[in-house]
Amino acid sequence: MKNTQMQRNSSAAVSKTTAGEKVKIRIKKNEVNEYFMEASERARRAKWISFGLLVVFLLVNLIFFRENITYSNVLYLLRDLDTGTYAVSGEFAPVTFGEENDASFALYKGKLAVSATSGFTLYNSTASVDVEDDTYMQTPAVVCGEKYAVTYDMGGNAYSVFNTIGKISGGNTEEIIEDCAVSDAGNFVLLQRSREAKYIATFYNSKLRASKNYYRDTYVVDLALDKKGENLAMISANVTNSGISCEIMLAVTSADSSETVTVKNAMPMAVKYIGDKLVVLCDSKVVVLSGNQIVNEYSLSGSPVAFSYSDDGIAVVCSENAVGSESSVHVLNSDGSL
């Protein structure tokens, strides 16, 4: 009887005899923090209110905006959903694809991106296919950033934008596409031939929409975006009676103005952003710019035949003779020093 009363009344005093001594044990009720109880209740109400608003939102869209629920719009919603991971393994798996002489390859998020006439394919580290698209391109090319992979038909009008899930955007340009540059932030630029000028570069913002055009009356050779997509550079060859010069157009994508830096007696070949520096490869020298100022020029001993770059530096392979049996490799720091 005494034990039953003790269980029912948790705050009652209990007498207990141990080795001839009487000891009192008092059991207190569990204390509850009223603040956290109220916070929990508010969170619970917010959860059900949010769920109700979601249901209402879906019903309104299904009833009044059903015509806008299209396949392309759903793909656009997936543009920032990314399941790609970098896999590292000591074993290698073979990748099998159709034999095509005009296939273009690139690395995208640790995976192999292949653009061919039959379409675009993204292979993971186990050689399995993660993304497959059958859009036909006669002369396919692929350029990749940290966020998106862009394929385009060189000499055609088609282009497509992919992430690691699938195709999220694409279309056809009015003019013929000749080149493309992609930033790590997801912006990209398509270089096209133009009827109004020799070339037009169309800038696509982070929403994958064309937002700005840049016109050039000289022969554009290459273009580049920095990692954030905030700065655009285009190099072109200007042929005059005095010879060939390299014109470097510099533009801030958020502004409307641009400026030009000229390198005399040099034929432009390639341009890349390395950190906050712009590196321009010409037929006789490597030019490094910081902002709109030339900070270094490195003269090459032969004709450049290959060019590679990273965040740490630049490597240029030059042919030393007409036969091509001897070559030299020039490894430069990001500031253009040997």
pLDDT in the model for residue 336: 86
CB 51 within 8 A of CB 141: no
Q: Structure tokens of 268? A: 């432009």
222 and 232 Cβ atoms separated by less than 8 Å: no
Q: Residue 187 in 3-state DSSP?
A: coil
- Identify the three-state secondary structure at position 285: strand
Instruction: Find, among 182, 179, 161, the residue nearest to 170 by Cα.
Output: 161
pLDDT (0 to 100) of residue 324: 67
User: Is the separation of the CB atoms in 288 and 296 below 8 Å?
Assistant: yes
Q: How far apart are CA 73 and CA 140, in angstroms?
A: 25
b/e for 126-150, b at 16 or more Cβ within 10 A? eeeebbebebebeebbbbbbebbbb
Terminal CA-to-CA distance of the chain, rounded, Å?
95
pLDDT of residue 335: 85
- Classify residue 84 by its DSSP letter: -
Residue ranges in the chain modelled with pLDDT below 70 = 1-32, 71-72, 75-91, 97-101, 324
pTM for the model stands at 0.73
Distance of CA 185 to the CA centre of its chain: 5
Query: What's the pLDDT at 201?
Result: 95
pLDDT digits (tens, 9 = 90+) for 81-112: 665 555 555 667 787 766 665 789 999 988 89
Beta bridge partners of 26: 13
C-alpha distances out from residue 285 to 18, 164, 270, Å: 97, 38, 11
- What does the alpha-carbon distance between residue 244 and residue 268 come to, in Å, rounded to a whole number? 9
